[in-house]
Chains A and B, each alone.
Chain A
């Protein structure tokens, strides 16, 4: 599914937000994929810029207490390995190592198109296919504000609610919670580990700089497409 697509925000707000997905194909290379996925996981774990990882089949993310060894044990015949990063150089380093490892597992990176294509050029990789986001259509009056959407869309399965996001924004603003603690709390419902807590902390800090009241959703007015 498209769970790493449609992360909300402007190009500036989406800088340094990368998701990684090593994905097996059901009828091509899933059978016996465990050793390859564990090799990929080891490459990810070695990288300093790793923020979070996990999967729905493991049931929880690293930020919700998933132990890397327990995760590795779930990877036989698994869909794949998901993770997120806040550092362009980390993505570059991982892609370089994966090209050398030549596991044959499909690798998908989400982030700013021009950044990812730029990394590919630097490494002489040929990106194969893009999944573009054409934005949100329909009854947009139902949506929360841009700030809340930036948080909730980091879980593409929609497990992070707007209501919880607003509660955390208000607690951070009131000084009852740090941005880091708020981001950690908000990451709990997202099992795939692509909820980027570093980006979330930054979003919550922006909420401190701009008044988030009045209104149930805080600043920014209605969400833009």
Chain B
């Protein structure tokens, strides 16, 4: 985050930029043991910084650690993403730049107009306006986190529309976004979506995460 800087003889943490990831504290490298977590770090609205930045901190809304959900990791036993559907995950602030919650709003306001199925088990959901408008609750809008993920599902035939709508909005953000897409393998073991993505100008990278189908009982073989 570049939030630690030397100022004269002292080293200071820029509290506005700090995302409370806890790495400096755990490293134990301060020669005078001066790094401490202030009480504000555990109080709202600032508390969400650690919840989205420190993998050892759980989200009270989900009782889960981490920033996402089980997504495709357990898809063989949950059937969360089925054939004919794609899952998408937009991770704001990754890799390593961090994101303000306002950065998510820019994309969320588009998504709520697009007939996508937002993943309500993602911890982000607890901090959104109700009813859902695409806005973040006012008290959390300027909080900075290491990364936060918007997860949603689309029908297969909507891929081109969603990609073409998202690309210009993502390009205009003040942070970076790592974009992922979840797809079932076809019966013959192929991944036809790679060809579609190539044609849309968002080719899949050569490496991926693959659920090997060893979970039991399998919901949808």
Seen from chain A, the residues whose Cβ lies within 8 Å of a Cβ on chain B are 1-11, 14, 17, 21, 23-26, 28-29, 56-57, 59, 79, 95, 98-99, 102-114, 116-117, 120-121, 125-140, 142-144, 149, 152-153, 156-159, 161-163, 188-189, 191-192
Contact = CB atoms under 8 A, between A and B. Distances in A.
Interface residues of B, number: 75
Contact of B27 (A56, A137, A189): A189
Contacts of B183: 129-130, 132
Nearest to B93: A158
A56 B213 contact: no
Given A6-B180, A106-B77, 10 more contacts: A5-B180, A7-B207, A102-B214, A127-B189, A133-B178, A135-B178, A136-B176, A162-B96, A188-B27, A192-B55
Interface of B: 1-2, 21, 23, 26-27, 53, 55-56, 64-78, 81, 87, 89, 91, 93-97, 146-147, 149, 167, 170-171, 173-185, 189, 191, 193-194, 197, 202-218, 221
B211 A106 contact: yes
Given A106-B214, A129-B211, A138-B175, A2 B170 contact: no
Contacts, number: 269
8 contacts: A1-B66, A8-B95, A9-B207, A109-B212, A126-B213, A134-B204, A135-B179, A136-B177
Given A99-B214, A192-B55, A126 B189 contact: yes
Contacts of A109: 209-210, 212
Contacts of B204: 113, 132-134
Interface class of chain A by DSSP: loop
A188 B68 CA distance: 23
A191 B182 contact: no
B191 A136 contact: no
A21 B215 CA distance: 12
Contact of A137 (B76, B176, B193): B176
Contacts of B69: 1
B176 A142 contact: yes
Most buried by B among A95, A112, A134: A134
Given A142-B97, A161-B23, A3 B66 contact: yes
